[in-house]
Structure 1
């Protein structure tokens, strides 16, 4: 929301009052309370008007400073609240001197100047993070004329636009950015990865991957200076990232209160660890979900015969397949969602699912959304029971936007949640293991909910309740360690319900790049796992794009082949006897299977610590200035740098961080750190670079005899040590598929000897360094490699 008119003025129709003086400062055991006035109070007569702001600084978690700003406190308590892990008993350190007061939480500190000249600054240890001084914290009043003019410019759309109600009061904060500081995050954003210069608004939309709209908006950003900011509002938060006042990040919320958190850390990985401590750690998807998923695609024609031909075709070509996904038309047209199989296409769904499980060794996923079409037999039940979102007059909200006459399930109604879970349980009884929770963005604002929550603020929050309900149903049925969604919409805290995929992308290289930017932004916002439609969703990709996307998809945390109007099995891309698409898909599927001991250990770390498994280079290397603008490569776990090839020329351009010599795990080529490289790659040569001073563990996986990524990750495993320098060490852990730790491995180098120690095991595995391999035998605890 842009309000400034140059340096001195505000736009016509807006009156801005800035916090100018900490007129009164009070401290309690765990907070600082400030009465901020819009001018320096010189006499008692100046206290007769306002507007004043009441600002409370506190901490409910280590290294997180909470700032709560009130103008009026008499509003209704009808706002949905993010489920935050706040410790109300946490006690920060508060110190006061004559001219300032400070609150310290762990190593993160806020200092507020007492008296004239408003000044608030945040620090991590002795490192300055950000702050607000002159013309920062403010209250904005919008004239009715301006509000009316703004509303008249908006189309009356029940889903996509912000509601027509006139908000005439806003609270705003402006936090300073340094020269060269870069801002990232805000959920899944397909715009340029560095958000400086952009206007970002948190309002979930179904807009594809080619616009500034987002399926997953999160009012949280991180800075290259290693701090994060969460605005605690499910409303439409408007961020101006160096775009209104070019030296500040400005965020504005409608209404009379504003709350935000400043999150400190040693580096960006630590910041995200602290952020997910507050908002929730990602759940751990089952190990099998890291294998290859294959979809029927969306509007394609398919039945049981088609499904089996796909599955048998993959097996004949020795392409390991783990999950089969049935998209929308597993249900009869016009009847979405009725949670019943189309008997014309699938006369014996239970028998089909049994066959997929028992004969083919596959898991099964089906598509749903939270919309009930009028032709669904569930519509009348939901209407009668009051399970749907309602219009203001009490009638059921309906639309023809997606399904004719559709209603939307109201997940603020506990009975509606139990009803929905019951419908899912019938699918689980049949053998469905996973649910794709599509949509959740097209949620009205001129409506009312069962619990009376503000419908405007429910628009973004709705998806949290929707996915939480489905995830809980999976946990209730299969256990807490076996639940997995394939979700499109999300907001703060939804990382607890993985996995999330990147929405509807076009089948071209530009969309690959958009998808990657969206994934890196999402994973910079606390989400640990990410997937996308391999081959692109809309249209049919040329074979060239498809093959490159197969590599990118199988080098993401989760890998699903899915499209709209055409199938995504590889042989449809091969012509005149060529098998290259099949060969490429097999190559990377087998490679991912071999990497499962490493990937599974990294997934466990993401779950336990909260650091995203797929992360941008700046998150992984916060001190490397060259990483600040990199958005065409990423780290997959701690130790592998992935460079997707996204052009017809087959050229990979990448930067290698300055921490030693990196090694391509496929070709063995080495790259000196701190340099940029350009490399020609065939379809089998996507750069996968192992970090120096690291261990990557490989499993005994071969498509000749294995078609599942769930196997013994220790037996005949190979712990490969990359670029270990003299005097340095490297570590790795191997878990079984149930997350039980099998062994910890540590390698230390002294001159030309690498000593590798590990826990005693009952399985043999090998250790490799610089082409030399030794056997780590069961019952032993160390080996040496002489180079």
Structure 2
């Protein structure tokens, strides 16, 4: 939120009490307590003016947090984002006018000299990261809202905000803040952390994460479940201004010598990304949303895939598997599926996994509505009645997951579906959560529940599934989330249009989310709204099958390839089989992501932080650490892409095309190519070993039977190891291949590309 009118003036009706002085401080073990006040000329300045209490802590090594509190007497009903915490990694030194707070490689210097308040964070080599300088911590009073009644005289009230402004350096760039579909570099933008069902073509977002990553080697996590407003060089061009309504603001500066290290520490703080079952990397096909379908339609789709030799692993039933106006009642519509249990069994006999759509709403026509109302399982109005509206489903109520009995009631119905053969659930919606004139079972603050609700919803469904089938044996397909949601994968990009522009904005959104602690992501292949042209369908298929998860889905039209032309079937077949052959590589990279927070699909700068040319690129990405992917966003097949420069890679050889090892690329160069639908730019990084298995028919097959290694350029034999992950347990490594023991020195030093058959 902007409070100023240029450098010199505040907006009319706004006043800010700026903190300029450390009145006193105390140290209690590894916690620093500060009392901040305004500029002090004499003792009289301590009267009739506010203070802000600041608490400095370090929950984990390399992370230093500050909590700012104006008034401490407010009720705190939560919820709060959960964070990890350890002790014993900090040191505190005090001298006249200075306090140094050290947490592993990161440090915070606080200027405690009279009227010289300042905070400065430093990295391990003494480099300045960010800080608070002149007039950057304050309490804001807004007297322009309906709350202010001037007739109240001395007791006039106002809306209040906590404000913290963090310094930005020259050429510093900012990323993340969840799945945002606008400009990839966030400088110059205003971002409100507030979940909304806004599609993929606006500033609204389904997945808002109050965490941004800086090119200077740090990240900032704002631990606040309500609305967080960030002005990223859009109010003060040298600062990020962070404001939250109310009386307190808590944030953490997370240091990392590389962007990957920042993500590792951020996910260690907010939650380790969970792994998913191997079968989920298969191609998913859906019925689409408003299309007409029944058993005959679905069976026809599946037969068409089999006849065309297109591997398919998961079939998803979207909304109308249930009877209209009854979402959710968790019952297959008998008019279209007269014996759902038997039909699901026949689908399972085809080797398919089954997914069904649901949301956290219960329509008034659902047989479950009366039971939920009587037992108090829904969000209520202040008078105790059920909160309802007609947006989406007529008279729908919303399940209150703060009520343990309501959560169990909801997930018990899901367990019944799993008993029928359902393997996964698409947890749609959960953004339109009311926050005015409502109350939750546990007394949570409704405003703070608006974003947090998505965590409760996804957590309830995910943990019920995992409790039934075991760790990493199932997954969600979720649309909304908040910090910590990486523990409940997978997430997809929501309602995009069927255009090349929407395909590009989807990639921007995915890359931004995966710079926010998430390692898995998918988009609706072909676009959700509209019917894609055949060229777009084929290009999105190529891109979608080089995403961590791949789902054909639309709104009012089907996404089976042959309705767009049999050449679309050919492109889909090739793309699916290519992804399946990459299963050993994908499983290895996913396991590393689980351990480190580094995503499968990576913004270029995340993998090449020393190449400044990569910092603004948002039309290509690294798929794992070895493969560069540049999707084609034009009908004619023209694509421009950049080959990154890395000093360590440069002497090991050249980048080569996945399709033709004789086609090489120089680092640090831009290329423009024209591709037909049989290819796209997929480049193999020099100095890498990529495990593949072209013999696999599905990701779950034996990875050792047909296992091969693609060696490109000279290999660092002392450090290079390949982990073959067990497809039946994605946490388990079946075998570690030490490259130096496998290949002789002369082979290791070659700068060509070769395929090595291991088994």
TM-score by length of 1: 0.92
Counterparts of 1:774 and 1:625 in 2: how far apart (Å)?
A: 34
The aligned residue for residue 620 of structure 1 is: 607
Measured after TM superposition, the shift of residue 94 of structure 1 is: 0.8
* Aligned counterparts of 1:774 and 1:523: Cα–Cα separation in 2: 32
Partner of residue 760, structure 1: none
How far apart, in 2, do the equivalents of 1:719 and 1:769 lie?
A: 15
| TM-score, normalised relative to structure 2 | 0.95
Question: Relative to 1, partners in 2 of residues 1:675 and 1:730: Cα closer, same or farther, differing over 3 Å?
Answer: farther
Question: Is the counterpart of residue 405 in structure 1 residue 395 in structure 2?
Answer: yes
Task: Determine which of 732, 739, 746 is the counterpart of 1:753.
Answer: 746
Which of the residues 172, 194, 197 maps onto 1:181? 172
Q: CA separation of 1:728/1:457 partners in 2, compared to 1, >3 Å: closer, same or farther?
A: same
- Distance in 1 between the 2:541 and 2:757 partners? 34
Across the aligned residues of Structure 1 and Structure 2, the Cα RMSD in angstroms comes to: 1.8
CA distance in 1, matches of 2:737, 2:660: 25
Q: Kindly tell me: are residues 774 and 732 of structure 1, through their superposed partners in 2, closer, same or farther at Cα, counting changes over 3 Å?
A: closer
Residues 228, 263 of structure 1: 8 Å contact kept: yes
Q: Which residue of 2 aligns with 1:784?
A: none
Match of 1:680 among 674, 685, 710: 674
Distance across 1 between alignment mates of 2:716 and 2:449: 56
Per-residue deviation, 1:744: 2.4
> Within 2, Cα distance between the matches of 1:649 and 1:284?
38
Partner in structure 1 of residue 45 of structure 2: 46
Could you tell me how far apart the structure 2 residues matched to 1:477 and 1:332 are? 27
Is 1:110–2:108 an aligned residue pair? yes
1:212-291, aligned counterparts within 5 Å? Answer: 212-291=203-282
Structure 1 position 513, deviation (Å): 0.7
2:633 aligned partner? 646
State whether structure 2 residue 359 is matched by structure 1 residue 369.
yes
Determine whether 1:78 maps to 2:71. no
Distance 1:345 1:148 in 2: 57
Q: Deviations over 1:29-58 (max 9, x none)?
A: 10121111121x232222123211111111
Q: Is residue 726–residue 751 contact of structure 1 (8 Å, CA) maintained in 2? A: no
C-alpha separation between the residues in 1 aligned to 2:158 and 2:306? 59
Q: What is aligned with 1:329?
A: 320
**1:640-719 to 2 correspondences below 5 Å:** 640-659=627-646, 660=650, 661-668=654-661, 669-701=663-695, 706=697, 708-719=698-709
1:604 offset after TM fit, Å? Answer: 1.0
CA distance in 2, matches of 1:376, 1:106: 55
After superposition, the Cα gap between the structure-2 partners of 1:462 and 1:3, relative to the gap in structure 1 and judged at 3 Å, is: same
Mapped to 2, the partners of 1:201 and 1:316 lie a distance apart of 49
Matched, 1:292 2:286: no
Which runs of 5 or more residues in structure 1 are unaligned?
150-165, 757-767, 778-787
Q: Counterparts of 1:401 and 1:627 in 2: how far apart (Å)?
A: 43
| 1:356 positional shift | 0.9
Distance 1:431 1:604 in 2: 27
Residue 726 of structure 1 and its aligned partner are, at CA, apart by 8.0
Measured after TM superposition, the shift of residue 254 of structure 1 is: 0.4
Deviations 1:284-310 (A, max 9, x none): 010010010000000000001111111
Please report how far the alpha carbon of residue 723 of structure 1 lies from its aligned counterpart in structure 2 after TM superposition: 2.2
Question: Would the alpha carbon gap of residues 439 and 145 (structure 1) be closer, same or farther in structure 2, given more than 3 Å must change?
Answer: closer
Distance 1:774 1:590 in 2: 20
Shift in Å, 1:12: 1.1
How far the C-alpha of 1:10 sits from its partner, in A, is 1.2
Matched position secondary structure for 1:56: strand
Question: Of 688, 701, 725, which residue of structure 2 is paired with 1:735?
Answer: 725
Matched, 1:599 2:590: no
- State the partner residue of 2:515: 524
Shift of 1:745: 2.9
Counterparts of 1:147 and 1:512 in 2: how far apart (Å)?
44
Give the CA deviation at 1:685: 1.4
Q: Are residues 92 and 772 of structure 1, via their aligned partners in 2, closer, same or farther at CA, if it must alter by over 3 Å? A: closer
Of residues 307, 313, 320, the one that matches 1:316 is 307
Question: C-alpha deviations, 1:195-238, integer Å up to 9, x for none?
Answer: 10000001111110000000010111001112110100011100
Change (3 A) 1:543 1:258: same
Q: Secondary structure at the match of 1:36?
A: strand
Q: Aligned ranges for residues 428-439 of structure 1 at < 5 Å?
A: 428-439=418-429
Aligned to 2:678, what secondary structure does the other structure show?
coil
Q: What's the offset of the Cα at 1:91?
A: 4.4
Contact 1:4–1:245, Cα closer than 8 Å, also in 2: no
Equivalent residue number for residue 30 of structure 2: 30
Deviates more, 1:548-557 or 1:116-125: 116-125
- Superposed CA deviations along residues 650-704 of structure 1, whole A, max 9, x for unmatched, are 11211111122212212222111111111111112111112221111111435xx
Choose the corresponding residue for 2:465, options 460, 474, 481: 474
Aligned twin of 1:69: 68
**Does the 8 A contact of 2:711 with 2:753 survive in 1?**
no
Looking at structure 2, the residues matched to 774 and 226 of structure 1 have their Cα atoms a distance apart, in angstroms, of 38
- Deviation of residue 775 (structure 1)? 4.8
Structure 2: distance between partners of 1:222 and 1:178:
14
Q: Indicate whether 1:589 and 2:613 are aligned.
A: no
Q: How does 1:415-454 map to 2 (within 5 A)?
A: 415-446=405-436, 447-454=438-445
What is the correspondence of 1:74-153 to structure 2 with a 5 Å cutoff? 74-87=73-86, 89-115=87-113, 116-125=115-124, 126-144=126-144
Quote the residue 1:57 is aligned against: 56
Query: Are 1:744 and 2:742 an aligned pair?
Result: no
Greater CA deviation, 166-175 or 120-129? 166-175
Measured after TM superposition, the shift of residue 93 of structure 1 is 1.0
2:225 and 2:539 mapped to 1: Cα distance?
38
State the partner residue of 2:334. 343
- The 3-state SS of whatever aligns with 2:563 is helix
The 2-side partners of 1:656 and 1:746 are apart by 28
Q: Deviations over 1:123-172 (max 9, x none)?
A: 111121111110111110111557679xxxxxxxxxxxxxxxx9711001
Counterpart of 2:152 in structure 1 is none
The 8 Å contact of residues 700 and 713 in structure 1, kept in 2 or not, is answered as no
Which residue does the alignment assign to 2:752?
770
- Show structure 2 runs of 5+ residues with no match: 150-156
Structure-2 separation of matches of 1:94 and 1:21: 20
Displacement of 1:500 after TM fit? Answer: 0.1
The 8 Å contact of residues 747 and 754 in structure 1, kept in 2 or not, is answered as: no
Say whether residues 1:209 and 2:203 are aligned partners.
no
Show CA shifts across 1:360-407 (max 9, x none): 100000000000000000000000000000011110000000100000
| In 2, Cα distance between equivalents of 1:691 and 1:101 | 46
For the 8 Å contact 2:196–2:206, the answer to whether it is kept is yes
TM superposition shift of 1:9: 1.8
Tell me, in whole angstroms, the C-alpha distance in 1 between the residues paired with 2:246 and 2:49.
Answer: 16
